[in-house]
Amino acid sequence: MGASTCRQCGATVLPGDVYCGECGTRLSNVGVAASAGVAGTSPSSLSELAPGTVLQGRYEIVKRIGGGGMGNVYKAYDRNLDQALRAVKEMMEMFSDPAQREKAIEDFRREAKLLANLKHPSIPIIYDHFIEGGRYYLVMEYITGGDLATRLRQAGGRFPEPAVTMWAIQVCDVLDYLHHRRPPIIYRDLKPANLMVDPEGNRIVLIDFGIARTVAPQQRGVTAIGTMGYAPPELFSGEVEPRSDIYSLGATMFHLLTGRDPRDRPLLIFDFSKSPTPRELNPEITPEMEAIIMRAVEYEPEKRFASAREMKQVLEDHLRVLETERPEEMERAQRIAFGQLVREGTPEHIRRPAAPAASEPSPGSPASSHPAIETVFCSNCGVPIGVEDLFCAFCGARQPISLDYGRSAAAKLLVLEPQSGEIRGTYILDKQTSLIGRMDPVSGIFPDIDLSPYDPESKISRRHARVWYEKDRFFVEDLGSVNGTVINGTLSLPPRQPHALKDGDVLQLGETQLLFREG
């Protein structure tokens, strides 16, 4: 059986994977949860620790927050330090091959040793490591802001240039620190999923040092481990060096700015004679930033930046130019770069209540597009925000205001019965921008137009499309949905490409049909 895709985020997963490596979703129901509250529990090799499980008589598991096929990462409380939050990373004993088992244990121990000897604002602090119940554990600093892969998906597939520049400067700083250790440390797996945002410290944090290596000058034959698309060509011939990390940073910046995942065409994506340049994919990128990215991902290491320090200086100079030429964008960029990822603990006064059963539309009855009170969910990414926020603290989007059409009837989307064409529900388009999708309280996504009642098989993505009003017209764009957006049965919209709507257009999202009526 070949590779498949994660049902949650669409990332590629391989046979035998238990969890998605990008979003942490369990790919199959395996194992049984460990008994809660018992120190020294010996759960089955693939089970997930239950909330309340206590490790070492000290670390109380709150919930699973990520992980992959070899283990999980948990949010936990430290009972000995006034319930301080910690991240607990585990590795399970699940290898039938002794060589694979020994290598995994070696990588895990190496990560603990590396982190214990490193001190930098962009490297997580390690507090403890131990073995319990046949599993290896690392206790680390808990970072609240989420990783860039998650933030990228919820932001619609792209970030603005100033925010990416801010992140890249900090990544260069930590790479410079690692590369100047004696011997140098090469990280080797730089990608959005391994970069987390710490809103409290306004910093980017590099996580997962499991395959980082200390490499002596001119050392060859280093094991080729990395992520296809982000890993430089020389990594696969065993000639890893500091400029290998510069390539991976360039690939990461390319992904964050264009929305194009390097894993989709790992062998050709940075051959710009055969593939689109960054500005061809996103014309909003400046020529200067395009040049920075293209230099970082040069095939030959000698043509890249000579060091992370040099690249950092170029990025800092570029950021100063952006601050001068685009001052109005900088506050928004700061909010995007280091704003809190709102997923849990949302205050009750800004939490949208679940729709009661009685409010769900029945065939032939109209459905309201949003509560009567002022919305408190971002119309761009759908996460909860403060009721008076002008910008979303997560994606930075300016919040829409109600439209003043100057006429009695606003535009609307009518949900159609596929066979008969009868109207099943109505959504009024009375905001400048409306997010269309499927509500997901677990992920904190609450679209303005929630099509969940008409989508029993979940063919509509959580952030499927958006409709907005500009220059006296309505536009629609697909947000990179899994099953696409089709206009009038013939035109399949490319992701992130605006399409002007006309009265009478029929939009198909998954298997749900919407009739656009204006006036």
| Active site residue ranges | 189
How far apart are the two ends of the chain, measured CA to CA in Å?
52
What DSSP letter does each residue of 379-429 carry, written as one string? TTT--B--TT-SB-TTT-PBPP-B---SSS---EEEEE-TTT--EEEEEE-
Contacts of 316 by beta carbon, 8 Å cutoff, 6+ apart = 169
**Residue at token pair 């792209």:** 158
**Amino acid found at 331:** E
**Amino acid found at 439:** M
Task: Work out whether strand 213-214 and strand 203-206 pair parallel, antiparallel, or are unpaired.
Answer: unpaired
Rounded Cα distance, 394 and 463, in Å: 15
Both tokens assigned to 185? 């440390």
Rounded Cα distance, 265 and 129, in Å: 38
Residues counted in the chain = 519
Nearest to 122 by CA among 211, 208, 212, 206: 206
Both tokens assigned to 517? 């009526």
Rounded Cα distance, 359 and 425, in Å: 12
Task: Give the count of beta carbons closer than 10 Å to the beta carbon of residue 470.
Answer: 11
In Å, how far are 272, 351, 491 from 253, measured between CA atoms?
Answer: 16, 33, 31
Rounded Cα distance, 388 and 134, in Å: 50
In Å, how far are 10, 369, 381, 437, 497 from 211, measured between CA atoms?
Answer: 25, 48, 33, 38, 38
- Coil, helix or strand at residue 204: strand
DSSP single-letter state for residue 455: -
CA angle 471, 426, 428 (to 5 degrees): 30
